[in-house]
């Protein structure tokens, strides 16, 4: 198999695809992006210049998405993206990559169509009752990335002399439960706060101005690859989260976190079996779980938490968590292509 064909509907999938492109290039394999619009903030057509630039550097060919029905070799997609088109292909080996925890809802949509599903680990598959001979446990491709601290600090104009916390801005649905004043508490302790939002959860201009006036930083998806969240995690000492799947990235980048457990029981009109996805990743000493708003919360309490999380060594806990729930690896792309080309 000399071709790797990627179905690209969202720019956010590049953090999974490009590491595989690089491994394929090293093996003399040709990579092709079959592009279709998503009509969302991360639509490839909205970021056409950025996509074309990356493809030129990586020697990746771009083709119209529906032509993937004639592709040969390997087809790689993310979750159910393009599955109605991909299933018409009778020549290529079909593989889908699990994206964050979307597979907990979408797995049944593609398991009968694809040849393989690349999952985080066997234990995760068992936990969510998604067991199949098609599952592969070769690692998560997006973590096959090399990041340099000095390069990231310069790229995002961060203060190299301050401790940094990555504050994952919650969904607007949950914002009223989140103690946003914790940002001021960090500022009082001399920390630089880096607020990270999603492209679909933008902040009000006045909020952004207030944050910047206090020496903080605000970013959305400033970089698709390496992805902004992973770059910023590499330079941060701590994360403030609210039950988002960023927990996986915290574990893999070994950054401790304060988590505000504020997700509602009923979402999208239904009560999920697992209110917080990946809840098992929070049960380690590198994570401190809090229950939303606490009117007595102050800088002194935050300082105690920092001592507990940042001034302690959690290396063993991170390694244990990876070993038990995630693939503790650096060669996932090599592992996956070894399987797919054997």
Cross-strand partners of 166: 194, 239
Residues 18 and 76 in one domain: yes
Q: Is the pTM of this model over 0.85?
A: yes
Helix segments in the chain, DSSP class H: 14-26, 48-58, 83-86, 103-110, 122-127, 149-155, 182-188, 205-213, 228-235, 246-253, 299-309, 315-325, 332-341
Q: Is residue 298 pLDDT above 70, yes or no?
A: yes
Of residues 246 and 291, more confidently modeled:
246
Residues 185 and 102 in one domain: no
Please state, for a pLDDT cut of 70, what percent of the chain lies above it: 94
CATH assignment of the domain containing 203:
3.40.50.2000
Give mean pLDDT, residues 257-261: 93
Give mean pLDDT, residues 147-165: 96
Residues 162 and 226 in one domain: yes
Residues 56 and 181 in one domain: no
Q: What are the φ/ψ torsions at residue 140 (nearest 5 degrees)?
A: -100, 115
Q: What is the pLDDT of residue 268?
A: 61
Residues 134 and 162 in one domain: no
Q: What is the pLDDT of residue 134?
A: 98
Residues 164 and 309 in one domain: yes
Q: How confident is the model at residue 267 (pLDDT cuts 50, 70, 90)?
A: low
Residues 36 and 163 in one domain: no
> Distance between CA 312 and CA 315 in Å, rounded?
9
Each residue's pLDDT tens digit, 36-90: 999 898 999 999 999 999 999 999 999 999 999 999 999 999 999 999 999 999 9
Residues 166 and 288 in one domain: yes
Residues 335 and 311 in one domain: no
Residues 81 and 163 in one domain: no
Give mean pLDDT, residues 129-154: 96
Taking a C-beta distance cutoff of 8 angstroms, is the pair 58, 25 a contact? Answer: yes
Each residue's pLDDT tens digit, 79-120: 999 999 999 999 999 999 999 889 999 999 999 999 999 999
Q: What is the pLDDT of residue 263?
A: 83
Residues 36 and 98 in one domain: yes
> Distance between CA 6 and CA 253 in Å, rounded?
26
Number of domains comprising the chain: 2
Each residue's pLDDT tens digit, 174-195: 888 888 889 999 999 999 999 9
Q: Is residue 270 pLDDT above 70, yes or no?
A: no
Q: How confident is the model at residue 168 (pLDDT cuts 50, 70, 90)?
A: very high
Q: Which domain holds residue 262?
A: 149-325
CATH assignment of the domain containing 107:
3.40.50.11720
Q: How confident is the model at residue 173 (pLDDT cuts 50, 70, 90)?
A: confident
Give mean pLDDT, residues 145-153: 95
What's the chain's length in residues?
A: 342
Residues 171 and 262 in one domain: yes
Q: What is the mean pLDDT of the chain?
A: 92
Reduced 3-state DSSP string for 49-94:
HHHHHHHHHHCCEEEEHHHHHHCCCEEEEECCCCHHHHCCCCCCEE
């Amino acid at each position: 198999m000399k071709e790797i064909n990627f179905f690209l509907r969202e720019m956010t999938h590049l953090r999974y695809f490009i590491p595989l492109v690089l491994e394929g290039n090293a093996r003399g394999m040709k990579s092709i992006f079959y592009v279709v619009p998503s009509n969302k903030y991360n639509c490839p057509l909205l970021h056409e210049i950025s996509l074309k630039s990356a493809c030129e550097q990586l020697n990746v060919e771009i083709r119209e998405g529906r032509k993937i029905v004639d592709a040969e070799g390997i087809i790689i997609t993310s979750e159910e993206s393009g599955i109605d088109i991909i299933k018409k292909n009778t020549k290529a080996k079909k593989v889908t990559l699990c994206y964050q925890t979307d597979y907990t809802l979408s797995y049944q949509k593609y398991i009968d169509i694809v040849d393989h599903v690349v999952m985080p680990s066997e234990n995760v598959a068992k936990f969510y009752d998604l067991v199949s001979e098609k599952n592969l446990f070769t690692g998560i491709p997006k973590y096959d990335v090399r990041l340099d601290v000095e390069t990231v600090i310069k790229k995002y104009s961060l203060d190299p002399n301050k401790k940094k916390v990555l504050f994952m801005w919650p969904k607007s649905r949950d914002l009223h439960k989140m103690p946003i004043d914790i940002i001021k508490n960090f500022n009082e302790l001399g920390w630089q706060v880096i607020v990270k939002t999603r492209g679909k959860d933008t902040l009000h201009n006045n909020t952004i101005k207030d944050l910047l006036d206090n020496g903080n930083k605000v970013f959305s998806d400033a970089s698709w690859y390496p992805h902004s969240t992973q770059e910023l995690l590499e330079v941060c000492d701590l994360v403030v989260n609210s039950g988002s799947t960023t927990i996986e990235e915290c574990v893999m980048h070994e950054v401790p976190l304060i988590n505000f457990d504020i997700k509602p029981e009923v979402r999208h009109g239904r009560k999920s079996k697992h209110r917080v996805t990946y809840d098992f990743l929070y049960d380690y000493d590198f994570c401190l779980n809090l229950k939303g708003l606490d009117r007595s919360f102050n800088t002194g309490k935050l300082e105690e938490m920092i001592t507990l999380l940042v001034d302690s060594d959690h290396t063993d806990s991170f390694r244990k968590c990876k070993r038990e729930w995630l693939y503790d690896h650096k060669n996932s792309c090599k592992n996956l292509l070894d399987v797919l080309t054997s």
